[in-house]
Amino acid sequence: MSQVRPAWPRRDLVLANRTLSIRESGPAGEPAVFIHGLGGNATNWTDLMGELDEDLAGVALDLPGFGASPPPRDGDYRPIGHARAVADLIRSRFGVPVHVFGNSLGGAVAVQLAGLAPDLVRTMTLVSPAMPEFRPRRTTVQLPAISVPGVGTKLVYKYLELPPKQRVAASINICFADPSVIPVQRWREEEEAVIAWSRLPYAADALRSSTQGMLGGFFSRRSHPWSILKHSTAPLLCVYGREDQLVRSAAAFRMSNARPGARVVVLPGVGHVAQLERPTQVAQIWRDWRRGLAG
């Protein structure tokens, strides 16, 4: 990418039950909403939204408690709680079904949205979605400990006390297959975002509680993610990275079995955040898939 695109303008969207920080791309195209992963923010979608700005009128949000969005008033950091925030956003900003994109935790939120308000979901595009799996990876075995009240809070505070550059480097090293593809400007933007968010008094609780809520959702009988996907009728595109250290690319096989009509793609040489590593390729995959749906 020869020229680094600046982040889309940010504004606060004040709703009846919450305030959300959002970033919007161009007004042309079909409506779409972009949902970031655990500890992320709306700028995680800057480049993919740019690649698709002639196709989609995109809105990326900071989930409650992350980025510049204040914590949820009801304290619900579960994926279904975040899904309610996304539903409020869609109803207020668009009032019609939208294309929903979600990465990691954002993928889990998108799935819950499909179960909670299927009338708001036109299509779903999941990038390395956080779905239940039987064998935890070496890089994710610490998540249950983080979610434990008391113990988890101490671990999160210890993490937040690390220098921003160290935290950003650790995050990028685990999320990217090849960190060298990240422009220097993106590193700086992420460091600035980490510093700003870490200073907020609720940052530790948002991180711990969202982790706890995500893991708890894996065992829910009423809103189990695989059950929702199995019964959802929204067209589904899933993109996985072969070198993902957090979500096994083998999950693509389970996804294909759960939704036989889904388009499932595994990208070689890509990690956990394909929309950041390969925005042009992901955008093309989405366009080709969308044209196929249109017939």
**Residue 136, SS3?**
coil
Q: Of 1-15, 219-233, 261-275, which has the strongest mean pLDDT?
A: 261-275
* Counts of helices then strands in the chain (DSSP H, E): 12, 8
Locate the domains of the chain by residue range. 10-294
Q: What is the pLDDT of residues 96-117, one digit of tens each?
A: 999 999 999 999 999 999 999 9
- The reported pLDDT for the residue numbered 44 is 95
Query: Does the pLDDT of residue 17 top 50, yes or no?
Result: yes
- The reported pLDDT for the residue numbered 156 is 59
CA dihedral 165, 173, 140, 200 (to 10 degrees): 20
Round the average pLDDT of the chain to a whole number and report it.
88
CB neighbourhood size of 258 (10 A): 20
Q: What is the pLDDT of residues 224-233, one digit of tens each?
A: 889 999 999 9
Regarding pTM above 0.85, the answer is yes
Quick one: which of 211, 213, 283, 290 has its CA closest to 246? 211
Share of the chain above pLDDT 90, in %: 64
The answer regarding whether domain 10-294 maps to CATH 3.20.20.70 reads no
Using CA atoms, how far residue 214 sits from 13, 47, 96, 244, in Å, is 25, 26, 27, 19
